[in-house]
Structure 1
Amino acid sequence: MSAPTVVQTLAAFAESAGRSGIGAELREDAARRVLDVLGNSVAALDLVPAQAVRGLIADWGGHPRATALGMRDRVPAAHAALLGGTVAHALDFDDTHLPSVLHPSASVVPAALAVAEAGGASGGALLDAVGIGVEITVRLGAAGYDGALRNSVFFERGLHATAICGAVGGAAAAGVLTGLDAAGIAHAMGIAASMGSGLLEANRTGGTVKRVHCGWAAHAAVTAAELARAGLTGPPTVIEGRFGLLHAFCGDRYDLAVITAGLGSEWELPRVFFKPYPCNHFTHAGIDAAIRLRARGVDPGDIVELELGAPTPVLRTIGEPPAAKAEPESGYHAAFSGPYTVAAGLLGGGGLGVFHEDFTDAAARDPRRLALAAKVRCVPDAVCDSIFPHQFPAVLTARLRTGDTLTERVDTNRGGPENPLSATELATKFRLNTEGRLTGERADALAETVYALARLDDLADLTAPLRRELARPS
Structure 2
Amino acid sequence: MSEPTLGGHLAAFAADVARDGLPDEVAASTRQRVLDVLGLCVAAHRLDTSAAIIGHVLDQGGHEQATIVGSPQRVTAAQAALANGVLAHSLDYDDTHLPSVLHPSASVVPAALAAAEHAGADGAQTVRAVAVGLEVAVRLGMAGYDQELGNSVFFEHGQHATSITGAMGSAVAASLLYGADEKGVLDALGLTASMASGIIEANRTGGTVKRLHCGLAAQAGVTAAQLVRRGFTGPPTVLEGRFGFFEAWLHGRFFPEAITEGLGKTWAVPDIFFKPYPANHFTHTSVDAGLALRARGVRPDDVASIVIGAPTAVIRTIGAPLETKRAPETGYQAQFSGPYAVVAGLLGGGGLGTGLDDYTDALAQDPVRRALMAKVDVVPDERCDAIYPHQFPAVVTLHTTSGEVLVEEVLTNRGGPQRPLTDDELAQKFRDNVAGRVSDVDADAVRRDIHALETCPRVDDVLSRLSTLTGTTPVDPITPTTEEESA
TM bucket, shorter chain:
over 0.9
Do residues 338 (structure 1) and 361 (structure 2) align? Answer: no
Contact 2:271-2:416 within 8 A present in 1 as well:
yes
Match of 2:274 in 1: 274
The residue identity in structure 2 corresponding to 1:358 is: D
| Cα distance in 2 between the residues matched to 1:216 and 1:138 | 18
Match of 2:474 in 1: 473
Match of 1:291 in 2: 291
| Cα distance in 1 between the residues matched to 2:453 and 2:401 | 55
| Cα distance in 1 between the residues matched to 2:9 and 2:423 | 35
Q: TM-score, normalised by structure 1?
A: 0.98
Q: Displacement, 1:196?
A: 1.0
Q: TM-score, normalised by structure 2?
A: 0.96
Deviations, residues 298-326 of structure 1 (Å, cap 9, x unaligned): 11211110000011101111001111111
| Cα distance in 2 between the residues matched to 1:128 and 1:188 | 17
Contact 1:82-1:218 within 8 A present in 2 as well:
yes
Do residues 207 (structure 1) and 207 (structure 2) align? Answer: yes
Unaligned runs of 5+ in 2: 476-487
| Cα distance in 2 between the residues matched to 1:245 and 1:181 | 22
Contact 1:45-1:69 within 8 A present in 2 as well:
no
| Cα distance in 2 between the residues matched to 1:267 and 1:76 | 32
The DSSP-based 3-state class of the residue aligned with 1:53 is helix
Contact 2:119-2:178 within 8 A present in 1 as well:
yes
The DSSP-based 3-state class of the residue aligned with 2:45 is coil
Deviations, residues 195-253 of structure 1 (Å, cap 9, x unaligned): 11111011111110100100000000000000111111111111111221112111233
Contact 2:25-2:270 within 8 A present in 1 as well:
no
Match of 2:354 in 1: 354
Match of 1:98 in 2: 98
Deviations, residues 92-113 of structure 1 (Å, cap 9, x unaligned): 0000001100000000000000
Identity %: 56
Match of 2:480 in 1: none
Match of 2:419 in 1: 419
| Cα distance in 2 between the residues matched to 1:283 and 1:18 | 37
| Cα distance in 1 between the residues matched to 2:460 and 2:175 | 21
Contact 1:71-1:472 within 8 A present in 2 as well:
no
1:242-321 matches, within 5 Å, as: 242-321=242-321
Contact 1:133-1:171 within 8 A present in 2 as well:
yes
Deviations, residues 88-143 of structure 1 (Å, cap 9, x unaligned): 00000000001100000000000000000111111111110000000000000011
Match of 1:241 in 2: 241
Match of 1:78 in 2: 78
Moved more, 307-316 or 40-49: 40-49
| Cα distance in 2 between the residues matched to 1:436 and 1:472 | 13
Match of 2:159 in 1: 159
| Cα distance in 1 between the residues matched to 2:215 and 2:460 | 23
| Cα distance in 1 between the residues matched to 2:104 and 2:460 | 25
Number of residues paired by the alignment? 474
Deviations, residues 415-439 of structure 1 (Å, cap 9, x unaligned): 0111100000000000001111013
Q: CA RMSD in A?
A: 1.0
| Cα distance in 2 between the residues matched to 1:235 and 1:333 | 41
Q: Displacement, 1:370?
A: 1.1
Unaligned runs of 5+ in 1: none
Q: Displacement, 1:456?
A: 0.9
The DSSP-based 3-state class of the residue aligned with 2:467 is helix
Q: Displacement, 1:472?
A: 4.4
Deviations, residues 446-473 of structure 1 (Å, cap 9, x unaligned): 1111111011112233121111346741
Q: Displacement, 1:444?
A: 1.8
The DSSP-based 3-state class of the residue aligned with 1:396 is strand
Contact 2:442-2:465 within 8 A present in 1 as well:
no
Contact 1:99-1:145 within 8 A present in 2 as well:
yes
